[in-house]
Amino acid sequence: MLSTSKWLPLTVVIAALILIWYAAAVSLNSDAVKRAAGDNEPSTWQFVQLAWELDRPVLPAPHQVGIEIWDTTVGKKITSKRSLLYHAWRTLTPTALGFVLGLIFGIVLAVGIVHNRAIDKSIMPGIIVSQTIPILAIAPMIVVVLGAIGFTGLLPKAIISAYLSFFPITVGMVKGLRSPDPMQLDLMRSYNATKKECLFKLRIPASLPYLFASMKIGVAAALVGAIVGELPTGAQGGLGARLLSGSYYGQTIQIWSALFVAAAAGALLIMLVALVQRRVCANAGR
């Protein structure tokens, strides 16, 4: 059954990407290697090896990034400022706080939209417009302004995360709360159920699959928000700060490793949501 599963094609695609990466590393780094080699002509194989071992390559080879990640996660103490785990933690805490804020706000808004026609008609277009504003572009300003009136640390980053994550949750939740079909709603009505009972016994259970699907998007958006929120505060800490300091000092290996750890953190958050989903949906009998 291996041929019908996704794992074999996926492995092939990833292997192909890594091969392309190695080849690209050689061609992109060739100028730097020529400069480093100077007058003596390296053989082809030596040339390739040099291209994969540069200190500040244009594109680091995959194994260089792997070694850097290993060194800065397993190789360093977790409290050290050089540890990527420490920086990932600095990013994940505002992500989590912002995601929870966005989740609560998004769900409350969705419940309001479903229950009140006026809220639906007046606010829904505004929400869509709010997302066409590139909030990430003004994220630095929010951080600076909130810092000026005394809010520093977690909260500014969390607010950006919340702003980014509430939208998919609201949209998904509105869809989910409206997903019970008219027959089920009629049944609730013939039971003389109140609006509240209808919400908690029918609409919310019916919305769970939609909620979790949009939570996965929302949590990824929250992570992006937290990373970008770190850029303007300078290199104080966090994955965004690692990216920034890496780009200031031309440390490409550091940038790539921060990028991969950010991707891993995103995958971890999505897996956590999936875990909660399995638990909750098992309880809800789905």
- Sole residue written with tokens 């640390």: 153
Q: Using an 8 Å Cβ cutoff, are 174 and 206 in contact?
A: no
**Binding window for another protein (CB under 8 A); candidates: 32-40, 44-52, 138-146, 185-193:** 138-146
Q: Count interface residues toward another protein (CB under 8 A).
A: 61
247 contributes a contact to another protein by CB under 8 A: yes
Burial of 2 (0-12, 13-18, 19+ CB in 10 A): exposed
Among 126, 150, 182, 285, the residue binding another protein under the rule CB under 8 A is 126
**Distance separating alpha carbons of residues 125 and 132, to the nearest angstrom:** 11
- The number of beta carbons lying within 10 Å of the beta carbon of residue 154 is 15
27 contributes a contact to another protein by CB under 8 A: no
Residue 239 CA to its chain's centroid (Å): 12
Report H helices in the chain: 7-37, 44-52, 62-73, 84-115, 117-132, 135-148, 154-177, 182-190, 195-198, 204-229, 239-248, 252-283
**Binding window for another protein (CB under 8 A); candidates: 35-43, 69-77, 153-161, 240-248:** 240-248
**Distance separating alpha carbons of residues 82 and 148, to the nearest angstrom:** 29
271 contributes a contact to another protein by CB under 8 A: no
- The number of beta carbons lying within 10 Å of the beta carbon of residue 225 is 28
Task: Return the closest-CA partner of residue 256 out of 72, 47, 13, 33.
Answer: 72
268 contributes a contact to another protein by CB under 8 A: no
244 contributes a contact to another protein by CB under 8 A: yes
Burial of 209 (0-12, 13-18, 19+ CB in 10 A): middle
- Kindly tell me which of 97 and 222 has the beta carbon lying closer to another protein: 222
DSSP-derived secondary structure for 175-201: HHHT-S-HHHHHHHHHTT--HHHHIII
Closest approach of another protein to the CB of residue 205, in Å: 25
- Site string (33-52) toward another protein, x via CB under 8 A: --------------------
58 contributes a contact to another protein by CB under 8 A: yes
Q: 208 to 237, contacts with another protein by CB under 8 A?
A: 216-217, 220, 223-224, 227-228, 231-232
Among 267, 271, 276, 280, the residue binding another protein under the rule CB under 8 A is 267
Task: Return the closest-CA partner of residue 161 out of 272, 276, 269.
Answer: 269
**Binding window for another protein (CB under 8 A); candidates: 42-50, 119-127, 180-188, 275-283:** 119-127
Among 65, 111, 169, 239, the residue binding another protein under the rule CB under 8 A is 239
65 contributes a contact to another protein by CB under 8 A: no
- Kindly tell me which of 124 and 204 has the beta carbon lying closer to another protein: 124
69 contributes a contact to another protein by CB under 8 A: no
256 contributes a contact to another protein by CB under 8 A: yes
* Start-to-end CA span in the chain (Å): 27
88 contributes a contact to another protein by CB under 8 A: no
Sites of contact with another protein (CB under 8 A): 6, 8-14, 28, 58, 117-118, 120-126, 128-129, 131-138, 140-141, 144-145, 148-149, 216-217, 220, 223-224, 227-228, 231-232, 239-240, 243-244, 246-247, 250, 252, 255-256, 258-259, 262-263, 266-267, 270
